[in-house]
């Protein structure tokens, strides 16, 4: 069973539309027991890190998410919450990944980044090959909406993007994956990536 975590901070409509297009069977749930017994978990997210973490704690989901052993995909804020902390209201996050999520520095670029940007990866070793990107050309464009970014961490970053700075647009640690962009709003490339997630072992 695929569970999309409904913690009042996600873009659930678009995620649901994409999963239905892929003919995936899924449920929305914030019940810890349902999430803990899922075969795959998707954590979408929009809004503030503080509000999202407060909601996850209120639902009793923080430890459940940290201890998952099944394929997990964090989308946008869902990726950022995997890190130790966010500069947004100095928020402690799930701590699955080491590092701090930071706000884009002032520059000539508009913040938040809203729109299409390319995502670049290097396949590397078997352990780091970005399986989410199978069949997706390097440098493909995906849709972003964010003011904060995850750092580049050699052992975690599987794809990067340039906007003001270079940042992690896709990360992985064991069964935990995260993407800064919105695959559910990224056309065929996004659908392929979600399909790849559904096919992970």
Catalytic residue numbers read: 76, 182, 184
Work out whether strand 2-5 and strand 148-149 pair parallel, antiparallel, or are unpaired. unpaired
User: What letters, b where the CB count within 10 A reaches 16 and e where it falls short, cover 155-181?
Assistant: ebbbbbbebbeebbbbbbeebbbbbbb
- How many of the other CB atoms lie within 10 Å of CB of 20? 11
pLDDT given for residue 188 in this prediction = 98
Domains along the chain? 2-198 (3.40.50.880)
Instruction: Copy the structure tokens of residue 25.
Output: 């069977």
Q: What is the pLDDT of residues 136-157, one digit of tens each?
A: 999 999 999 999 999 999 999 9
Residue 159's alpha-carbon distances to 6, 30, 130, in angstroms, are 27, 29, 8
pLDDT given for residue 11 in this prediction = 77
> Taking the CA of residue 106 as centre, how many other CA atoms within 13 Å lie in the half-sphere pointing to its CB?
0
CA distance 166 to 113: 13
pLDDT given for residue 128 in this prediction = 46
CA distance 118 to 164: 14
pLDDT given for residue 127 in this prediction = 42
Write down the H helix ranges in 37-165: 49-58, 62-66, 77-80
Q: What is the pLDDT of residues 169-190, one digit of tens each?
A: 999 999 999 999 999 999 999 9
**Burial of 186 by CB count in 10 Å (0-12 exposed, 13-18 middle, 19+ buried)?**
buried
pLDDT tens per residue, the chain (201 residues)?
Answer: 999 999 887 778 999 999 999 999 999 999 999 999 999 999 998 889 999 999 999 999 999 999 999 999 999 999 999 999 999 999 999 999 999 999 999 999 999 999 999 999 865 434 445 889 999 999 999 999 999 999 999 999 999 999 999 999 999 999 999 999 999 999 999 999 999 999 997
Q: Is the dihedral of CA 70, 199, 187, 138 positive or negative?
A: positive
pLDDT given for residue 10 in this prediction = 72
pTM for this entry: 0.94
pLDDT given for residue 23 in this prediction = 97
């Amino acid at each position: 069973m695929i569970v999309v975590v409904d913690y009042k901070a996600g873009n659930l409509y678009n995620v649901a539309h994409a999963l239905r297009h892929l003919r995936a069977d899924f449920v929305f749930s914030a019940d810890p027991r349902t999430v803990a017994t899922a075969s795959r978990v998707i954590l979408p997210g929009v809004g503030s890190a503080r509000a999202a973490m407060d909601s996850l704690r209120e639902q009793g989901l923080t430890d459940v998410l940290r201890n998952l052993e099944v394929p997990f995909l964090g989308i946008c804020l869902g990726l950022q919450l995997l890190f130790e902390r966010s500069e947004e209201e100095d928020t402690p996050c799930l701590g699955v990944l080491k590092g701090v999520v930071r706000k884009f520095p002032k520059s000539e670029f508009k913040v938040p980044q809203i729109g299409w940007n390319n995502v670049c990866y290097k396949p590397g070793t078997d352990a780091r090959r970005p399986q989410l990107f199978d069949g997706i050309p390097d440098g493909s464009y995906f849709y972003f909406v964010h003011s904060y970014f995850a750092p580049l961490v050699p052992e975690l970053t599987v794809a990067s993007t340039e906007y003001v700075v270079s940042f992690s647009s896709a990360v992985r640690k064991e069964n935990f994956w995260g993407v800064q962009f919105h695959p559910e709003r990224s056309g065929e490339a996004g659908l392929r990536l979600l399909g790849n997630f559904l096919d992970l072992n």
